[in-house]
Amino acid sequence: MSAPVTVESKPAPPPVEKIKVKVDGREVEVPKTTPDWLGKPQPTTMLQACAHAGVDVPHYCYHHKLPVAGNCRMCLVEFGTPVIDPATKKPVINEDGSTKIARSVLPYEPGTPRGAIACATPISPGMELYPGSPATAQMREAVLESLLINHPLDCPICDQAGECKLQEYSVQHGQSASSFVEAKVHKPKSVDLGPRIVLDDERCILCTRCIRFTKDIANDDALGIINRGSYNTIAAAPGRQFDNNYTLNTVDLCPVGALTSKDFRFKMRVWFLKETKSICPGCATGCNIVIGSRENSIYRLEPRENDAVNGPWMCDTGRLDYKWVGASDRLREVRIAGKPSTWATALREISVRLGGVKPGSLAIIGSARLTTEELYLLKQLGRKFEAITDVVEHSGEADRLLVHAEKAPNYAGARLTGMAFTEAGINLPQIRAGIESGAIKSVIAFGEDLVSTGLSVELLSKLSLLIVSDVVSTATTPLAHYLLPGCAYAEKRGTFINAKGRVQKFMKAVEAPGDARPEWEFLHELVHQVTGSNGYSTIEGLFNSMAKELPPLSGLEWSRLGDTGVTITL
């Protein structure tokens, strides 16, 4: 008797309920609800409806990932609602067949238009929004005038200049002159809020984004407002430093130049910065970032929004961990037995010497800081010589927001390529024992300082072949028979796979120092030389061929990764 076959029919997802509204006379159909800052469906707001119509509503305090405050009043928009006949409860129809609309007016002054804050006002069927009306324009103009009367107007020396919403909206919606003739309010300047943040209270427009982020996202009640009215001032709680691991997000959130990063302020005009999409290599979260660089120097990292990974945020640790890229202790030349050499010589010699290695006598120790493509190439080498492989474990504290306990970006890639096993580092004791016993005579180490993993200088000196690639000098690099200078993530392209299986690509922002080359480039040459297999000279081709070979990546192509990556099943 066969078991009854049950066909599971999934109920179709409920249709998204839509509402028709008009934006400046154009009818648009928008979803009745839209996710709020927590992702919970809430009635769609006027601001979101305008966005559906392709109309930007200017705003300062509103941020899609923060609770709505409604205080800046910049998003005031004139609107109208259908007139309802009290008797029939149905909309009144004009002679021309259109619905009669009552434009919003002040209840106590029916001749004066009234705006609603688009950020918090839900739309209703038949509503008409007038973001382009003269009344809306006047409201914006008035808010901007108010915001600027006590503002120091010190744009020439302000770090925010060039990416300042006061500047942008003044150009788009403001006036060339103010009627203000009084003395300005003066407030604290250069306030040392915490170890990474300086506040200029005179530039502040009191939108409270920083307070809401700190309280509702970073879970820290450090910031608040003191004083009253026009004298309102953002401040850290008495006796407290503004010092959590997310403080620098407030600099991004600040629409004006009030909150500045101690690291970045006065270093560079923002319009000179080249922006490169990248991934933070600090931990296995893989926050999406933008590298701001100019003339081969990195000036700042900023988060790049990706709801599948980091939202619009990143931690301060990750943000400030870029200085080593341009540091003076970077490896810049190929060395053979400590003497400067060339890539051609070194790679030729290495391939010859590897050719003499007995199967099972080679260990390859990689790093989860390497790209997936590089780990894949290392594993190919390992397979050829039946090498024992592993990557080094780096672990630390995690937090509830973004920081992951695995302190390198690509452990998933290391496991997926087979360079590491379920837990990174479990083969290291075996490798050590092999060197001690003399069974392992050759070691290839990429991106890790073997000495700090517990392989002593004495032990490493027993090896007949030690090939090391790294980006900076370590205790291991002087011991290398062959030293190959590699690249920082910002100097090459590639992919990292984060702890949740997000395959994310990153782009090159700056040139590597000296003769340093991306590891995948010279690894690919080496693999080609020792295995004879045909390789790819581009990162695209390399990724695509790797994806064909590794089942979890099957179907993926470099071009399909987009800017925010693709999640795979690990």
Q: Which residues bind other proteins (CB under 8 A)?
A: 68-74, 76, 106, 108-109, 112, 114-115, 117, 120-122, 139, 142-143, 145-147, 149-150, 177-185, 205-206, 224-225, 227-232
Beta-carbon contacts of residue 39 (< 8 Å; ≥ 6 apart): none
Residue 50 contacts residue 129 (beta carbons within 8 Å): yes
Select 190 or 227, whichever has its Cβ closest to other proteins: 227
> Rounded to whole angstroms, how far apart are CA atoms 494 and 275?
17
The DSSP 8-state label assigned to residue 384 in this structure reads: H
Please state the closest distance from residue 111 (CB atom) to other proteins, in A. Answer: 12
Measure the CA–CA gap between 71 and 206, rounded to whole angstroms. Answer: 8
Please state, in angstroms and as integers, the Cα–Cα distance from residue 328 to each residue in 324, 447, 514, following that order. Answer: 8, 18, 11
Closer residue to other proteins, CB minimum distance, 148 or 336: 148
Please tell me the distance from the alpha carbon of residue 271 to that of residue 292, in angstroms, as a whole number.
Answer: 10
Alpha carbon distance 482, 463 (integer Å): 12
Nearer to other proteins, 153 or 433 (CB): 153
In the complex, the smallest distance separating the C-beta of residue 473 from other proteins, rounded to whole angstroms, is 53
Smallest separation (angstroms) from other proteins to the CB of 229: 4
Kindly give the interhelix angle for 519-531 and 539-549, rounded to the nearest 10 degrees. 60
Least separation in angstroms between CB 186 and other proteins: 9
C-beta of 184 vs 269, nearer to other proteins: 184
**Least distance CB 424 / other proteins (angstroms):** 46
**Which one, 39 or 229, has the nearer CB to other proteins?**
229
Do residues 204 and 152 lie in contact, with contact meaning Cβ atoms separated by under 8 Å?
no
Q: Which is nearer to other proteins, 66 or 143 (CB)?
A: 143
Which residue, chain included where needed, has tokens 């984004």?
A: 209
What are the DSSP calls for 204-231, one per residue? -----HHHHIIIIIS----EEEES-GGG
CB of 33 to other proteins, least distance (A): 13
Shortest spacing between CB 68 and other proteins, in angstroms: 7
Min CB(114)–other proteins separation in Å: 5
Helix (H, G, I), strand (E, B) or coil at 437: helix
Closest to other proteins by CB, 108 vs 271, is 108
In 3D, which of 270, 276, 259 has the Cα closest to residue 325? 276
- For residue 136, the minimal CB distance to other proteins (Å) is 12
What is the nearest approach in angstroms of other proteins to the Cβ of residue 71? 5
User: What amino acid occupies position 310?
Assistant: N
| Cβ distance to other proteins smaller for residue 120 or 561 | 120
What angle is formed at CA 175 by the lines to CA 172 and CA 181, rounded to 5 degrees?
A: 145
Nearer to other proteins, 68 or 526 (CB): 68
Q: What is the 3-state secondary structure (H, E, C) of 278-299?
A: EECCCCCCCCEEEEEEECCEEE
β 297-303/101-103 pair status: unpaired
Residues belonging to the chain: 570
Buried b (16+ CB within 10 A) or exposed e, 65-95: bbebbeebbbbbbbbbbbeeeeeeeebeeee
Q: Closest distance between other proteins and the C-beta of residue 165, in Å?
A: 13
Strand (E) positions, 327-418? 335-336, 339-340, 362-366, 388-391
Of 121 and 498, which has the nearer Cβ to other proteins?
121
Residue placing its CB nearer to other proteins in the complex, 145 or 540: 145
- The Cα 466–Cα 536 span in angstroms is 26
Q: In the numeric block, which tokens belong to residue 199?
A: 């506040």
Look up residue 517 and give its two tokens: 């080359």
* CB of residue 226 to other proteins, shortest distance in Å: 9
> CB 69 → other proteins: shortest distance, Å?
8
Task: Identify the three-state secondary structure at position 251.
Answer: helix
Closer to other proteins by CB, 229 or 562: give it: 229
Structure tokens at 296: 């081969």
Taking the least distance from each CB to other proteins, the nearer of 174 and 303 is 174
- The amino acid at residue 428 is L
Cβ-Cβ contacts under 8 Å for 561 (sequence gap 6 or more)? 495, 503, 504, 505
* Residue 166 vs 483, nearer CB to other proteins: 166
Nearest-approach distance from CB 161 to other proteins, in angstroms: 19
CB 82 within 8 Å of CB 101? yes
